[in-house]
Structure 1
């Protein structure tokens, strides 16, 4: 049967294994499981180069374990794309040679430097452990000689010196640790057993050790009352090392003291294990939540549409899924990479399809830009010709203006530039035509008088609040069909007409707001075609409407966010109603502005 000290050493080994298992479990759960699958190569290279400076090799190994497969996958993808391009250009697969880029070279060099550094550190650590083994072995030999030698007054001092030196020596190879410690304790015990003359000194030393171990027990019991954490486990580990290095205590106290220390240690380990079990369950729950988000994200991989708004709506929905994903906690390490890869693969697939859509859209807009540039060239050719009949050419220009309306949108960056070019050419042509039509000045004066009459008729309808829509439309058509007026009256008559229309629309109850906006915009666009100032005013108005729409979007988002913080009290319901009304009014204004901008484009 084991004696008390042998059992204590055995149980200490068992507790040490518990401690090791607990620390390993903590490390496994706390290990960095950042998702690197969507990081660009530049970020991965920077992470690899940072590992060279890292001294925590467990942390560094965990990061390298995650980033290297991601980098290798990106490298293999680039290689495959280069091969496909090489073959598409007429090359043979057997003749393909792939040259790695600078980022790949930097990554490989950083990984090599880190592994070389780690290998050197491990080699130095093993050398140090071997050195410590030799030093402790030599001390054991000195202790053995001291034990076998005759008892002298210097024996106790020599023993204390050996014990002090033993404590200062670092770790030894694991294969020798247990046997070395057993031999050391056995020789210490034998030394005291053989020196009965110093029994009293031995007992005093045991009592001193008893006091030290009692203090260690007190500390362990305080740790047992605390919330379990990595720091508590570390402190308990330090106490075990301290307890281990304190010498023997009186035999009658030994068993009770050890059971006291072991009981406190067991409480800490049991609480920490329970905490880690709870964390594992939370991680499993997180995993299921992320799998559900993966399934939702994968539904977007097959999405397709020919409308920009549809793509933007789906983008917003997918970005909302991303926020939900980022809000979920960690998952089991062995599942993290696969579930992350699955989610981000769906995410990237959607945005790849979206980019393809916008590439096609840009190609379509570029074609429209080319068509509108050709229209500009045709108008400019008519303008430059001295032989063309201006009246015939005028009809051609009007037709070209109609063709301009039928062509779809152009790239946003060139929209104003190409429009200004076309408008300037048309304006210049009609100015030239007008300049050569001096004999038509009387006709212009007649037109001016006629347009004054039209304005007066509309003003009268507005003043008398007449609701005769056919008559109103007839006046509008008559205005459209009435020719040019003298240049000096162009601005004033157009302004009078616009003001008259506005007053009539304001009092009209037969027209909807949408119909009123359409009429108003059509008039402003029509005025801009032959009036540079009106064109600038229209552009300024459009800019103001876009700025107002942005402000409304921001206000709506803020109000909706604020509503989420209201409680369920009576006053909260009142505030919620007020905010709801504000949001509805803002949304109506936003739609009205959007509709007006659309009308501007439709009438250009």
Structure 2
């Protein structure tokens, strides 16, 4: 009889090691280890893969479907944004832009719907199959348990036992939460059966020999996997080898530990490579997440930034397109964050381009308003361009041109058309006016020469000490005033030169004339005095009234000067005229004061 101690703890260690290898409690129903996501460069490639899945009735992993969906919409949204950007940059109306339905997206949704329905149906079928397989394996365990009650029972049911072992191998997936407990029970009663098997020792030894050959073959296969370059494939193959190892019966007691240690050592090499591969992959995904997070932060700062004009919008658009290009170069983030980080990035892109579209919608509205204003000015200009009222119409055209400058921009092409029409209307009038006024311009140049000659004569009088200077000056002033207009561009310069010399002459003349007038006034006082004291007092009262009247007039002029703007040439001319009048009034006031003093001196001497 086989000693019950043959069921050593070393063989039992297989359960614990298998749990580490498969990374779950499920032995029979192994989970697929996620491979690196495939990179797709176009929607056509993604649709081709979906058609392949549907046509071949494949059952893809959730990870592959998530990768297909994320990549498809990443490409889809990029294409959509590129089309919208091109439309807007070409001067398209944001308000009229319409998203054209994408046939590729409809195909994508249809194929995904078929796959999801098939996966749901398959899931239900697999759950049902797992429950059936569970019951089948429980029944096998119960039968082996019944056969392991005594040596006699074990010996006479050996053939049935071998058949039950074959059935066990043929039964695959079971519920994950029952897999380990199921295997431990199976292993327990198989070991008990072999311990009771006594009469058919040759058959037992034969089994041990066959099991050893099988397990050594599995060890060879596991050791050879160390040469496999594809770490994921090697790990998957190892899972299958472990499954076969566990389904293979025991070997002789003295070889159990040696055989298991060899298989475990080979498994450890593959497991470490697999673990390192995914550690590296997770590190790379974490690095990608960090890079994508930084891009999101940069993008969000751009979205928050203020856009002062079309230049800022263009600058920020280029920056975002640059960030999108960088995003495409970065690989996947960790699976649980990959969709979230993409949605964060896409939301900011959508917000920016939505704001941009709204901005240009407002700009378009302003463009339309500005175009309407310019069109009205064109119509008004066209209504005036046949007028022959040269002075009044010129002023109107100048006003229209000033109004044109105050109106905001319109699209370049339309702006050029409107400006051409407006300029044509203006040119038509001014060309007609210039043709009609050709003779007038010649007369103005002649008047300019005459006025310059008079100014030259006035300058000569200012330097000479001759008699009758006042009469000569007055005569020249009258001649100057009788001469007509001069060219507009020379008017202000000539005006200043003329009044500068007059001011000098009047100042010099005023001093001598005022002195002469006072002397004459004093002489006349003696004649007035002969008419009586009342006559002198009456004269003084008249002068006082004149004095107060002039002072009030000076105050009025000075107040008016305060309201005038000196920002225009016309304003300067008017101010100069008024300043001359004020100065003349002040000179008259001073003369009256001197007359009053003369009267007071005469009264004192009397």
Task: Calculate the TM-score normalised by the size of structure 2.
Answer: 0.51
- Secondary structure of 1:329's partner? coil
Alignment of 1:110-509 (within 5 A): 120-143=121-144, 157-227=159-229, 229-336=231-338, 339-340=341-342, 343-382=345-384, 400=400, 404=404, 407-412=407-412, 414-415=414-415, 417-419=417-419, 422=422
Q: Distance in 2 between matches of 1:58 and 1:3?
A: 47
Q: Distance in 2 between matches of 1:313 and 1:307?
A: 10
Task: Calculate the TM-score normalised by the size of structure 1.
Answer: 0.51
- Secondary structure of 2:18's partner? helix
- Contact 1:366/1:410 (CA < 8 Å) preserved in 2? yes
- Give 1:309 shift: 2.1
Q: Distance in 1 between matches of 2:154 and 2:311?
A: 98
1:58 aligns with 2:59: no
- Secondary structure of 2:172's partner? coil
Q: Distance in 1 between matches of 2:249 and 2:240?
A: 16
- Structure 2 CA distance for partners of 1:133 and 1:374, relative to 1, 3 Å: same
- Contact 1:286/1:329 (CA < 8 Å) preserved in 2? yes
For these two proteins, the number of residue pairs brought into alignment is 388
Q: Distance in 2 between matches of 1:152 and 1:18?
A: 34
- Give 1:61 shift: 8.5
Gaps of 5+ in 1: 35-42, 71-106, 444-480, 482-604
- Structure 2 CA distance for partners of 1:345 and 1:276, relative to 1, 3 Å: same
- Give 1:201 shift: 2.7
- Structure 2 CA distance for partners of 1:296 and 1:253, relative to 1, 3 Å: same
Question: In the TM superposition, what whole-angstrom CA distance separates every residue of 1:217-262 from its partner, at most 9, and x where no partner exists?
Answer: 1111122344462221111101111111222223322211111001
Name the Cα RMSD after superposition: 5.2
- Structure 2 CA distance for partners of 1:355 and 1:66, relative to 1, 3 Å: same
- Contact 2:133/2:171 (CA < 8 Å) preserved in 1? yes
Larger Rg: 2
- Structure 2 CA distance for partners of 1:237 and 1:152, relative to 1, 3 Å: closer
- Contact 1:228/1:271 (CA < 8 Å) preserved in 2? no
- Structure 2 CA distance for partners of 1:421 and 1:31, relative to 1, 3 Å: same
- Contact 2:299/2:320 (CA < 8 Å) preserved in 1? yes
Gaps of 5+ in 2: 25-29, 41-45, 75-107, 441-488, 490-606
- Structure 2 CA distance for partners of 1:408 and 1:299, relative to 1, 3 Å: same
- Structure 2 CA distance for partners of 1:376 and 1:126, relative to 1, 3 Å: same
- Structure 2 CA distance for partners of 1:310 and 1:131, relative to 1, 3 Å: closer
Question: In the TM superposition, what whole-angstrom CA distance separates every residue of 1:268-294 from its partner, at most 9, and x where no partner exists?
Answer: 112222332233333333343334334
Q: Distance in 2 between matches of 1:249 and 1:7?
A: 13
Q: Distance in 1 between matches of 2:343 and 2:178?
A: 44
Q: Distance in 2 between matches of 1:66 and 1:175?
A: 32
- Give 1:418 shift: 3.7
Q: Distance in 2 between matches of 1:3 and 1:150?
A: 20
Q: Distance in 2 between matches of 1:388 and 1:12?
A: 114
- Give 1:119 shift: 5.7
- Contact 1:143/1:159 (CA < 8 Å) preserved in 2? yes
- Secondary structure of 2:369's partner? helix
Question: In the TM superposition, what whole-angstrom CA distance separates every residue of 1:128-175 from its partner, at most 9, and x where no partner exists?
Answer: 122123333344455456666968999554443332222212222344
- Contact 1:382/1:388 (CA < 8 Å) preserved in 2? no
- Secondary structure of 2:374's partner? helix
